[in-house]
Amino acid sequence: MMNFKNIILRHIPILLLLGLSSIRIAAAADTLLILGDSLSAGYQLPIQQAWATQLGERWKLNPKAPAVVNASISGDTAAQGLSRLPELLKTHQPRWVLIELGANDGLRGFPTADIERDLTHIITLVKQANAQPLLMQIRISPNYGRRYTDAFTAIYPKLAQQHQIPLLPFFMEKVAIKPELMQPDGLHPTAEAQPEIADFMAQTLAPYVGLDAEKQAK
């Protein structure tokens, strides 16, 4: 009769493979993917200064915090983010996806129905990948009149309600009212604003990624 020691030795390779697979699954499940535009990409700034990078560096010190993958690209519309999403989901297998898109669509006056459609497809793909969508409210200047601006703003709470997903407050609201924190174009935050945004996002995201919001203030 085969002794217990030999049985264990024979199955060690299989146990190791199972263990490594579990580690990879756990690592993938603890990733926050940021799908955004220039507001999250750190427009005109070194990538190290972008709020998303600062958030990721801070969370590296917390073993309970997710890894941050910033997949934001300056100038991206919702449609462009949608086109990149399948590969990003396959590569990073995130547990959460922060959707920060639509500002460029709104600034270009794209039909709100098209923006809503593209954001809907993004939310659907994220859910199909077994990840949690986190939709950020986006606001734009009233360049195209109040009617368009109101219709654009209304897209986000509508989608959040329809898909039963969190709607996060726009991180630019408190920054945009401070001229000293805005670049000359009046659209993008300065380097000095990035730590403030990182603080705000750390506290805002905390309850959704299993962290204590009160401990996120720097």
Assign 3 a pLDDT band (cuts: 50, 70, 90). low
* Tens-digit pLDDT profile for residues 122-159: 999 999 999 999 999 999 999 899 999 999 999 999 99
Active-site amino acid positions? 38, 185, 188
Reported in sequence order, the residue ranges of 37-192 that DSSP labels E, i.e. its strands, are 67-70, 96-100, 132-136, 167-168
* Tens-digit pLDDT profile for residues 37-60: 999 999 999 999 999 999 999 999
Given its phi and psi angles, is residue 14 left (phi above 0), alpha (psi -120 to 50 degrees) or beta?
A: alpha
Query: Domain coordinates of the chain in residue numbers?
Result: 31-215
pLDDT reported for residue 214? 66
- pLDDT (mean) for 156-167: 98
Distance CA 3, CA 188 (A): 69
Read off φ and ψ for residue 177, nearest 5 degrees.
-85, 0
pTM for the complete prediction?
0.85
The topology under which CATH files domain 31-215 is Rossmann fold (3.40.50)
* Tens-digit pLDDT profile for residues 178-207: 999 999 988 999 999 999 999 999 999 999
